[in-house]
Amino acid sequence: MEEQPKQNIPPAAPSTNRGLILLRNLWRRIENIVFGVVLSLIVLYFVLQMPAIQNWLIHKTTSYLSDELKTTVQIQHIDIAFFDKLILEGFYVEDLKGDTLIYVGQLSAGLSSNFFSILSNKLEFNEISLKNARIQIRRAAGEYDTNLKFLLDYFSSPKDPNKPSKPFAVKIKAKNIFLEDV
């Protein structure tokens, strides 16, 4: 048997190399997480653009609002433009007597921040546009309240008086409100 010549094996790497390797591994993981989040947002955007998903979203939203308000709420079409603009077409709400309370042909709302600010109870609009809107506020003879009162009461009062509610901040820039045939 022949003996193999011994190769020169360098001494163990100093701890700075090990720290550098750990830092590179950490950086790669951070890159992968950021890439995953960005990719998820892009996929979510394209999923929300699919007509089947939009119809499902419209059905769930209108069913929930109709049940909560105990009246008819309808939306014909919804369009979400990359989480900063929302367009509703054919938005319809009946009053408690079955008459038309609100009909908006097209409601367009541009968000100043992003769609995810809703999670922190903040919503800021940089533009609101109404086209072909009809709002019919009536007060029946002998009644004190208008047909809009139930809607205002629903959105202004907390559901559970024992549970403290977090305030929801809504801000609209008044100079960017556009009305057409209202």
Q: For tokens 């003996």, name the residue.
A: 3
Q: What is the pTM of this model?
A: 0.65
β-sheet bridge partners, residue 122: 169
pLDDT 10s digits, 85-112: 888 899 999 988 888 899 999 998 887 7
Q: Could you tell me which of 129, 131, 134 has the C-alpha nearest to residue 176?
A: 129
The whole-angstrom separation of Cα 149 and Cα 73 is 16
Residue 123 pLDDT greater than 80, yes or no: no
As given in the structure block, the two tokens for residue 124 are: 């800021």
Q: How far is CA 95 from the centre of its chain?
A: 26
Half-sphere CA count of 22, side-chain side, radius 13 A: 5
* pLDDT number for residue 36: 95
β-sheet bridge partners, residue 79: 87
Cα torsion 150, 153, 155, 161: sign? negative
As given in the structure block, the two tokens for residue 114 are: 């992003």
Average pLDDT, stretch 43-71? 87
pLDDT 10s digits, 163-180: 666 666 777 776 788 889
